[in-house]
Amino acid sequence: MTVNQEFGNQAFDQIEKLFKGARLPENVQALSQQGVTASKDFYSKTAAAVGDGATVMTDIADIAWASTKMLNEKIRQNLTANAEAAFTAAQAIATAKSLPEIAKLQSEYVQRFAAKATEQTKEFFDLSARATQHVFEKAQAAATKSFKPTY
């Protein structure tokens, strides 16, 4: 046993002898019990709120991730469709028999591409806005719920 351990044991022994048989006043004991009860209640409510908050944050992250995946898939589909259209046009232009035919094919491709790009952009921004709105609605609902007082 080290010197520090001996000193600690002696100090605790002296305290134990000093307070042996001593009783706390009833009002101190009652206050102590009330404090423990209030602390436990506060802990329970705080733990529940933290758990609810974590669940909400997970839900919001899941919605945001699903939206991101959907938007990325839409980009992939658009890029694939645009590349296929470009290769189809290139094949047609490569087999054209005259310069006027090449010019006509190029002009048609550019017009179709511009129309399709406009349509794809509009659709993408619409999907993006709806996805963002969905995430904000979920966050707003969670914030509204978390600020409601519980009595």
Using CA atoms, how far residue 84 sits from 16, 65, 95, 110, in Å, is 88, 28, 17, 14
The percent of residues above 90 in pLDDT, for the chain, comes to 50
How far apart are the C-alpha atoms of 83 and 146, rounded to whole Å? 48
Helix (H, G, I), strand (E, B) or coil at 123: helix
Tens digits of per-residue pLDDT, 96-122? 999 999 999 999 999 999 999 999 999
How many residues does this entry show for the chain?
Answer: 151
The percent of residues above 70 in pLDDT, for the chain, comes to 91
Tens digits of per-residue pLDDT, 13-37? 777 776 676 676 777 778 888 888 8
Q: CB atoms < 10 A from the CB of 131, how many?
A: 17
Average pLDDT over residues 54-80: 93
pLDDT interval class at 131 (50, 70, 90): very high
DSSP character for 148?
A: S
Whether this prediction's pTM lies above 0.75 is answered by: no
What pLDDT sits at residue 121?
Answer: 96
Closest CA to 114 of 85, 73, 80, 74: 85
